[in-house]
Structure 1
Amino acid sequence: MSPSPALRRFLAEMEFPATKDDLLREAVRDGLDSADIAALERLRDHSFSARWQIVGALRLARPPADALVAA
């Protein structure tokens, strides 16, 4: 999954290091939409030291099963 523009802006303003819980708390506080929050929830519990780590982890995170489309 590639981060949305809103999520990219959020991450650019985030202070690091940040844990998954830090990211979720600030995302809710900043009013990110539910899809962006759900993407952050799929991250593993980890402390991230830079934005690029989160972007990479989001690209590797699997989408929820109900988002998969049968071919």
Structure 2
Amino acid sequence: MRPSSALDRFLRGMEYPATRDDLLREAARDGLGPDDRTALAQLPEQSFSAAWHIRYHLTRRALTEEFAPSASAGLVAV
């Protein structure tokens, strides 16, 4: 997932280091959209040193999901 412009602004405005829980609390307080909050909730439970660190994890997760074989790829139609 490429961060939305709202999520990107939010990450730039955060104080670091920040934990996933810090991010979720501030995202709710700032009124960040539900899709962006869901993306933050899927981050690993750790401390993030900067916005780029979070973007890295979001991008890595999106690429893993995009290139993972689908469950139906091994099914054969009869």
TM-score of the pair, normalised by structure 1: 0.85
Q: How does 1:31-46 map to 2 (within 5 A)?
A: 31-46=31-46
In structure 2, the partner of 1:2 is 2
Larger Rg: 2
The ranges of structure 1 where at least 4 consecutive aligned residues each deviate by more than 6 angstroms after the TM superposition are none
Identity of aligned residues (%): 54
- Deviation, 1:60, is 1.4
**Alpha-carbon distance in structure 2 between the residues aligned to 1:8 and 1:42:** 16
Listed one character per residue, the Cα deviations across residues 13-51 of structure 1 (whole Å, up to 9, x for unaligned) are: 000000000000000000001000000011010100111
CA RMSD of aligned residues (A): 1.7
CA distance in 1, matches of 2:24, 2:57: 15
Q: How does 1:51-62 map to 2 (within 5 A)?
A: 51-62=51-62
- TM-score by length of structure 2 reads 0.78
